[in-house]
Amino acid sequence: MDWFDRKVVEYVVRWSPYGPLHDEDVFPEFGMGVRQLRTRFNAIVAEQTARPTELDEPDRALLGRARVLLRAKHAARTGSGPTNSRLPMRDY
C-alpha cells in the first residue's frame, strides 16, 4: 500500500464514527470530493484484500479495520445484520 492509499484508508476509518464526510473537509486533504474518496477507499480495500501477504502488520491491521467498516456499512444499508458496536456507522 503506498503512502497516499494508506492516508485515504486511515482518514476514512478514523473519521467514520464522527458522521458523514463533507467535500469541504475532504477536498483540501485529497484533491477530490467525498464521492471520489469513497470510490478510492473501496478500490483500495478490494485491491489490498486480494493480496494481504504483501502488507506489513500495521497495514494489515488498518485493512482489517477498513473491512469491518465496509461490512458494517453494507449491513446498515441492507438491514442484513447488526453492525459492529465498536464502530458506530455514519455515512462515511
Hey, what's the cell of 47? 485491491
pLDDT in tens, 73-86: 878 777 765 544 44
Distances (CA, A) of 40 to 61, 66, 79, 81, 82: 19, 12, 24, 25, 26
What does the domain layout of the chain look like in residue ranges? 3-78
What average pLDDT does this structure show over 37-62? 92
pTM: 0.79
